[in-house]
Structure formats: C-alpha cells, structure tokens
Amino acid sequence: MKLSLLPFLVCRACGGSFSLIPEKTEGTEVMEGRLACQGCAVAFPIVRGIPRFLPQTIEADKKATAAAFAYEWTHYSELTEADRKEFLAWIAPLTPDDFKDQVVLDAGCGKGRHIHLSAQFGAKTVIGVDLSDAVESAFGNTRDLPSVHVIQADILHLPFANPFTLAYSIGVIHHLPVPKQGFLALSSHVQPGGRISVWVYGKEGNRWIEQFVDPLRKNITSRLPKFITRCLCFPPAVLLYAGLKLLYKPAVSRPWLKQLLPYSEYLCSISGYTFAENFWNVFDQLVAPTAYYHSRDEVVDWFETAAVQQTTIERHNGNSWRGTGLLLLP
C-alpha cells in the first residue's frame, strides 16, 4: 500500500479516517501493517502490500464466486494486447481522454488489466477493488505505477466516501447476488458531476446461453474443483477456437458469411484471440456460481434509480449492455 492511498480511506463504521501502522515496507509500498480507525476500534490488516477490508462474514455464494475468479485471474495473470481494445469497447463512448486527471474507481478489478490502462490514459489516481484473491495478481501487475492502488473489499462495503470522478465496473455487477444493489453502491462513491460506466451480460442475445450453458454452469461446472472445470473446458475451447479461426475470422471481412453464421457479432469480435484468451473465456463462462443476464429495461432502471443523467445505454456485440452517464449535480 502506498501512503498516497490513505487520504481516500474512510471508516464505514464511524466515518473517521485511518492511521497507518507500517510493520514492513519495500520502497514506497507498505507490505505488512495495519490501518486503524482514528474514530473507533475498527482496524484492517495490510497483507502482502494490499489493505484487506474484508467483512467478518461473506455469503457462501459470493465467496464461491470470488474464489472462482481468483482461480482464473491468478492462473491467467498476464496483461495482453487485446486488453486495451476490449476495455475501450466496454466503456464506449468514453475514450482515453476521459481518464485524464480523473480519480478513478475500478470495482471488480480482477488481475488489474483495466487499472493499468486507466493509469496509462492519464488518470490522477486509480483505485482497483476486488473481493477475491485476484488482488494478488492486480497488485503484482501494477505496483510499479505510482498512481495505482489495489485494495481487497466488497463492492457493497467500500471504505470510501465519494471521492471518485469516474467509476467503472466491467463484467462484475452481473455476478453479484443483487446486481442493482451493486450498481447503486458503485454510484454512491461518485462525486456529483462525475461519470459512471458499466458493462454487463445482456438478456437479449443470450437466450441459448441461458437455456443450454447456464444449467451446466449452475449444476455442474461451478460446483466442481476448479482444476476439473479447467480440464473440462479444454474440449469446448478447442472446438470454439477451430470455429473462430476457420469460420468467424474469415467472416470479419465477408459480410455475406457473417450473415449466415450464428452469434456472429460477438464471435467475430473475438476471432483474433489467442488460444489462451479463448480458453479462459470459456472457463469464465462456466466457473461462476452466480451470473445474471440483464434486459435493457433493467439496466435503464439502475441508472434512473441512481439519478444518473445524460445516460447512454448501448448494445455491445449483440449480447451485452454498456452504459455510461453523469451523476446528478446538486
């Protein structure tokens, strides 16, 4: 943990600020130590460089979902070339310019690919949050960036007031037990006039996943030991990879072929992926105990409830929603 994170942290119990009690430091990072509230008796540990704001108890489903993604992002921790293009597609119409000098929150930062990019885009401060042990990868991938911080915490219990001028959550809210609650929690940490951006699975365009893949995920693959699920993903990943390279990649420049193929908008968009990217995408679909598919109306309702203005909600790749807007000015 870098000292410059301290002014952002607020105790949820009393609203007080924290004292930092370092026990082991490496350069600018406090690797081990404690954060003790100055207003009450609450304290949180810093372990391996990461402040751990974990609640005493975490619901079983939430814990299992966090463990699933921890497995994914600690076994597939590298940042890739595709990350930038994907991120910009998920947050559009926002562009790299919208990050300049902003105070940015990434809710559900996984291995840290987007906090890394946010810093590259010129953000003043970037704080990545994840409930899972993926924070270990995120910290490793970003510790050399002076403006980036990583903490382990639940999106519903973040140790912040509302210091953020831009908050985003990519592919995370649909894995929460009550997604709307997650969206409202995220928006509560954004300053009036600040921006919020989310990307979630769509109900529209994913009927076949809900009908055929979801029962498999819910009843079998999310319950198996992660290593077994990983092995089971290999045959479908090989089939998908072959289909992407033989059919969907050629279809990118052949509109007539694209029209003939099913699910082509999405599959053409990932047809350039490496086998590893493709394999972990399959794993990602099959491993989480909790996943929802949201209609456009639901996403609109989240934005309206949070009093977000100038909202843009767009369909992405025919199977998901990306939404952006401004928090109401007082």
C-alpha distances in Å from residue 226, one per residue of 52, 216, 231, 276: 24, 15, 9, 17
Window of 40-48, 77-85, 92-100, 233-241 that interacts with Zn ion by CB under 5 A = 40-48
Rounded to an integer, what distance in angstroms lies between the CA atom of residue 134 and that of residue 116?
14
Residue whose structure tokens are 């911080």? 149
Interface region with Zn ion, contact rule CB under 5 A, candidates 10-18, 43-51, 262-270, 293-301: 10-18
Q: How far apart are the C-alpha atoms of 87 and 113, rounded to whole Å?
A: 9
The residues facing 139 across adjacent strands are none
Is residue 328 a contact point for Zn ion (CB under 5 A)? no
Closest to Zn ion by CB, 37 vs 170, is: 37
> Between residues 33 and 49, which has the closer beta carbon with respect to Zn ion?
33
Nearer to Zn ion (CB atom), residue 36 or residue 238: 36
Applying CB under 5 A, the span of 7-15, 51-59, 158-166, 211-219 interacting with Zn ion comes to 7-15
Beta strands in 115-248 (DSSP E): 125-130, 148-153, 164-170, 190-201
Candidate residues 42, 58, 82, 238; the one interacting with Zn ion per rule CB under 5 A: 42
Pick the stretch among 39-47, 76-84, 164-172, 254-262 that binds Zn ion (CB under 5 A): 39-47
Task: Please tell me the distance from the alpha carbon of residue 286 to that of residue 213, in angstroms, as a whole number.
Answer: 8
Residue 237 in the binding site for Zn ion (CB under 5 A) = no
Of 16 and 22, CB closest to Zn ion: 16
Q: Does 161 bind Zn ion (CB under 5 A)?
A: no
242 binds Zn ion (CB under 5 A): no
- Edge-to-edge order in the sheet of strand 320-327: 18-26, 29-37, 43-47, 50-53, 148-153, 125-130, 103-107, 164-170, 190-201, 320-327, 308-316
The reply on whether position 36 binds Zn ion by CB under 5 A is no
CB of 35 or CB of 37, closer to Zn ion: 37
**Is the distance from CB of 140 to CB of 163 less than 8 angstroms?**
no
Residue 329 gets the label, from left (phi > 0), alpha (psi -120 to 50) or beta, of: beta
The residue among 130, 122, 33 whose CA lies nearest residue 77 is 130
> Is residue 16 within the footprint of Zn ion (CB under 5 A)?
yes
Would you say 16 or 122 has its CB closer to Zn ion?
16
Does residue 247 touch Zn ion according to CB under 5 A? Answer: no
Q: Which residue stretch of 21-29, 42-50, 172-180, 291-299 sits at the interface with Zn ion (rule: CB under 5 A)?
A: 42-50
- Of 7, 21, 39, 223, which one interacts with Zn ion (CB under 5 A)? 39
Do β-strands 18-26 and 103-107 pair in parallel, antiparallel, or remain unpaired? unpaired
Nearer to Zn ion, 42 or 216 (CB): 42
DSSP state of 8: G
Q: Which residues of 239-253 are buried (b: 16+ CB within 10 A; e: fewer)?
A: ebbeebeebbbebee
- Binding of Zn ion at residue 228 (CB under 5 A)? no
Q: Closest approach of Cβ 17 to Zn ion, in Å? A: 9
9 belongs to the binding site for Zn ion (CB under 5 A): no
Contact footprint for Zn ion (CB under 5 A): 11, 13-14, 16, 37, 39-40, 42
